Each structure stands twice: as structure tokens, then as C-alpha cells.
Amino acid sequence: MSTHRPHVGVLALQGDVREHARVLSGLGAEVSLVRRPVELAAVDGLVVPGGESSVIDKLSRAFGMREPVRDAIAAGMPVYGTCAGMILLADRITDGIEGQQTFGGLDVTVRRNAFGSQVDSFETDLAVPALGAEPVHAVFIRAPLVEEAGPGVERLAQLDDGRIVAVRQGSLLATAFHPEVSGEHRFHRLFLETVQRA
């Protein structure tokens, strides 16, 4: 693996931006907050954080970011989406608000508030073989869920009932939960490895 320090951006329109920046910096990445196309053009990978997917969608259009992000994904830029970020990377959403759009790229159908409201947030341990034998402690906060995944999508983690909560397709990675708030850094490390390979 190259020793080049990856330069990654966190889409800083809304959501838990600082938490992702802190984890990525701690793993040795150079981190920029991305709000404009010129800032996106300067990074090698992008994190789309958790937050409110419909708000991030609206702001991405207001800031002229929707098409540049879509173009970057189409060109193969590594992108990691958590929670709302997973919704924004999905090609299809089943319960979006009227007019809600996504960046797309992941051949999945995602249900936005699959687990209900904030009071239905929960934590659990997940087996994620791609990250090693130790389970991942996952925090779900008004989390989405992958309802359908296309043939090219790798299912990285599922709940006990088989519902899919982490996926990878090419250089795109998405989790329905928030590793950045639970002290779990292996997904971010996996993302940075993808950035370095790209």
C-alpha cells in the first residue's frame, strides 16, 4: 500500500461532519470540509455523513453540489455514506419526501426511517467478516435499511433477521449506522484503503 497520505473530504452541508473529520484525521488522513465544487475537486475521496437526508439533498442542490458529486461517483471517486449518507448514495428510496433526490451510485433500494423515530434508536453488535473476526458495535439513530440490493452489491453486514445494514459496491461503501459515534474506526480505515488504491 502506498504511503501517500490520503486527502479526503467530508460533505459539510449538514449532519455529523466534525465526528467524521475527527476519526479520519486520527487515522492519518488529510481532511477537508467540502461545501463547493472546487473543494470537491481537490479531494481523493468523500464521506457523506449522517444527518437529515432530505435537508442534505436540498442543500446539495442549493450549493450546486448535486451534479459534481454525481459526476465524481460516476468517475469512480471512493465515497463512504453513513445513515443519511447511505440514503443519498442509493439509486432508489422507498419513502423519500416528495421531490427528494439522491446522488445515486449504489444499486440498492433504501427505506429512510426503517426503524421509526429517534426514540427507536438502538445499539447492537454485528458480524462483519470483511473487517475481521471482532464484531462491530453499531449505533442506529433513525436509521435507514437496504431493502433490495443488486447483484453487484456486496452485503457486508446484516441484522439477526437478515435485514441489510452495510454494503459495498466498487469504490462505494455505506452503513445504516454511525461508526463515527461509537469509536468503531474499521469502516473508515476500509474507506481510506479504498481511497489509496484508487
Say if CB 81 and CB 48 are below 8 A apart. yes
Q: Which of 83, 137, 185, 188 is catalytic?
A: 83
98 in active site = no
Single-letter residue type at 182: S
Say if CB 47 and CB 24 are below 8 A apart. yes
Q: Which of 20, 180, 184, 188 is catalytic?
A: 180
178 in active site = yes
19 in active site = no
Say if CB 178 and CB 144 are below 8 A apart. no
How, if at all, do strands 122-126 and 136-140 pair?
antiparallel
Q: What are the Cα distances from residue 22, in Å, to 30, 49, 128? A: 11, 12, 23
Residues 6, 185: Cα–Cα separation, whole Å: 16
Q: Which of 4, 123, 137, 178 is catalytic?
A: 178
Tell me which residue of 80, 86, 140 sits closest to 111, measured CA to CA.
86
C-alpha cell at 42: 481537490
The set of catalytic residues is 83, 178, 180
